[in-house]
Amino acid sequence: MQLSMENQEHFKGEGYVVVRGGLQDSDLDPVIAEYEAYIDRRARELKAEGKISQLYEDESFGRRLTRICEEDGTIYNELDIMHFRGRALFDFLRNDHLMDLVEGLMGPEISCNPIQHLRPKMPSKTSKTPNTHVAAWHQDAAVIREESDPHFVLTVWIPMCDATLENGCMHVIPRVVGKGLLHTAGPVLQEAEMPPQPAVPLPMKKGDVLLMHKETPHSSTPNVSDSIRWSMDLRYQPAGTPSGREVYPSFVSRSRANPQSVLTDHEEWCRLWIEGLERGKGFKFYRW
Ligand SMILES: O=C(O)CCC(=O)C(=O)O
Q: What is the pLDDT along the chain (288 residues), one digit of tens a residue?
A: 899 999 999 999 999 999 999 999 999 999 999 999 999 999 999 999 999 999 999 999 999 999 999 999 999 999 999 999 999 999 999 999 999 999 999 999 999 999 999 999 999 887 666 666 889 999 999 999 999 999 999 999 999 999 999 999 999 999 999 999 999 999 999 999 999 999 999 999 999 999 999 999 999 999 999 999 999 999 999 999 999 999 999 999 999 999 999 999 999 999 999 999 999 999 888 888
What are the CA-CA distances from residue 42 to residues 65, 88, 257 (Å)?
10, 18, 42
Atom number of ligand 1 nearest to Cα 117: 9
- Counting ligand 1 atoms within 8 A of each CB, the residue from 121, 160, 170, 228 with the most, and so the one to mutate, is 170
Which residues make Cβ contacts (< 8 Å) with residue 19, sequence separation at least 6? 1, 3, 7, 101, 208, 209, 210, 211
Closest CA to 160 of 130, 127, 123, 119: 119
Q: Rounded to the nearest 10 degrees, what angle do helices 61-71 and 25-48 cross at?
A: 30
CATH number at 5-25+85-279: 2.60.120.620
Q: Report strand pairing: 229-238 vs 200-202.
A: unpaired
Say how far apart CA 123 and CA 129 lie, in whole Å. 10
Phi, psi of 114 (to 5 degrees): -75, -5
Cα(260) to centroid of ligand 1, in Å?
32
Strands (E), the chain: 16-19, 110-121, 154-159, 170-172, 200-202, 209-213, 218-220, 229-238, 251-254
Predicted pLDDT at 129? 66
Cα(226) to centroid of ligand 1, in Å?
20
Cα(91) to centroid of ligand 1, in Å?
22
Q: Are 160 and 231 in contact (CB under 8 A)?
A: yes
Q: Are 113 and 253 in contact (CB under 8 A)?
A: no
Residue ranges of domains in the chain = 5-25+85-279
Predicted pLDDT at 17? 98
Strand order across the 218-220 sheet: 200-202, 170-172, 218-220
Q: Other C-beta atoms within 10 Å of 75: how many?
A: 20
Q: Which amino acid is at 220?
A: S
DSSP structure class, residue 239: T
DSSP structure class, residue 59: S
Q: Are 213 and 10 in contact (CB under 8 A)?
A: no
Atom number of ligand 1 nearest to Cα 157: 9
Q: Are 237 and 246 in contact (CB under 8 A)?
A: no
